[in-house]
Amino acid sequence: MSLVVVGSIAFDAVRTPFGERARMLGGSAVHFSLASSFFTEVSVVGPVGDDFGPDEYDVLAGRGVRTDDIEHVPGGKTFFWRGHYDYDLNVAHTDDTQLNVFGAFEPKLSEESKAAGSVFLANIQPDLQLEVRQQCNAATLVGLDSMILWIETARDSLTRAIGAVDLVLMNDAELRMLTEQPNLVRAARDVMAMGPRMVVAKQGEYGAALFTEDSFFALPGYPLEEVVDPTGAGDSFAGGFLGYLDAVGADAVDEQAVRRAMTYGSVMASFNVEQFGTERVQALTRGEVNRRFEEFKQITHLEAVPLDLRVTR
């Protein structure tokens, strides 16, 4: 089993009501790979510049993430994103995006990555997502994320990319916008009509909902008392979800496995937001992951008991 992610590798500057960081390791592929590394072998595809040094590589290598397909562009600068959150931590406000080495990025996958069983096309320009999808012929599970920017500026490309994947993970507002459908259930159906067999609607602190052709499953967000920085929560969710399913293996993916994948996604997202950037997931242990999974099991457990009704109507 192995998993490949293509997406941004970044330096982020983030301000939240609880503090700020002027420059920290980030990017969708970084958050995704750190989270999925708890479940399977994962390889990152994406470009970096000269400013991406041994300290940054060490964070990924420290969790066993394969970095061979990270392309170092000599003389280039790494993708940079600056954003802030006000008291509604579900809404990220972008203040600056510098594409830098991403501007001329042409994904080149090693033979090993092309042979991966699972692929995550993190939030990048949808034509690039499709190019990577087409290079990964062996993949039996391909997931995709996107954002409002691409819905607004590259809708046709995004529709083509969605048509080539098995799973779409997007924020519920993005799903509604993409399908021009205010009802989330119908929006998910419309996305499945484009090709994918599963749709996950991420709902920030409220959790996530999973739609398939014939089933529905939803989980609340983990009830955290302190959320410090939500950046990367969506990618950490996707990392837990796809990392777990890759570990299970395509043949064993059934309704129960997908529900566990939703739970591991929620577990990884909930840890990610406890500290800035990658800080919390870098320090995370397997025991903590397992314990939070058990807590989710209890939170969502329901028992039916016979009800002795006093009313007859």
- The binding site for ligand AMP (CB under 6 A) comprises 8, 10, 12, 26-28, 31, 81, 97, 123-124, 149, 231-235
**Whose CA is closest to 43, among 77, 71, 80?**
71
User: The tokens of 63 are what?
Assistant: 């969790």
Closer CB to ligand AMP, residue 51 or residue 112? 51
Compute the least distance from the CB of residue 256 to ligand AMP, in Å: 26
Give the C-alpha distances (Å, rounded to integers) separating 271 from 52, 277, 280, 293, 308: 25, 11, 6, 11, 42
Is 125 or 248 the residue whose CB approaches ligand AMP more closely?
A: 125
Residue nearest to ligand AMP (CB): 26
Residue 181: count other Cβ atoms within 10 Å of its Cβ: 16
Question: Residue 124: which of 233, 235, 7 has the closest Cα?
Answer: 7
Minimal distance, residue 254 CB to ligand AMP, in Å: 27
The one-letter amino acid at 276: F
- Least Å distance, CB 115 to ligand AMP, is 26
Beta carbon nearer to ligand AMP, 43 or 125: 125
Q: How far apart are CA 123 and CA 158, in angstroms?
A: 11
User: Smallest distance from the beta carbon of 11 to ligand AMP, in angstroms?
Assistant: 8
Least distance CB 70 / ligand AMP (angstroms): 15
Give 28 or 36: the residue with its C-beta nearer to ligand AMP.
28
Q: Which is nearer to ligand AMP, 100 or 123 (CB)?
A: 123
Closest to ligand AMP by CB, 31 vs 292, is: 31
Angle at 31 between CA 281 and CA 184, to 5 degrees: 110
Q: Which is nearer to ligand AMP, 32 or 253 (CB)?
A: 32
CB of residue 235 to ligand AMP, shortest distance in Å:
4
- Asked if residues 21 and 232 have their Cβ atoms less than 8 Å apart, the reply is no
User: Long-range pairs for 56-63 at CB < 8 Å and ≥24 separation?
Assistant: 56/25, 59/25, 59/30, 59/34, 59/278, 59/282, 60/30, 60/33, 60/34, 62/282, 63/33, 63/34, 63/37, 63/38, 63/282
Q: Measured from the CB atom, is 61 or 91 closer to ligand AMP?
A: 91
Task: Please give the single-letter amino acid code of residue 75.
Answer: G
The whole-angstrom separation of Cα 249 and Cα 244 is: 9
Supply the minimum distance, in Å, between the C-beta of residue 124 and ligand AMP.
5
**Minimum distance, C-beta of residue 32 to ligand AMP, in the bound complex (Å):** 8
Task: Give the C-alpha distances (Å, rounded to integers) separating 196 from 164, 262, 305.
Answer: 7, 17, 38
Alpha-helical regions (H) of 207-250: 233-248
Token pair in block for residue 218: 């939803």
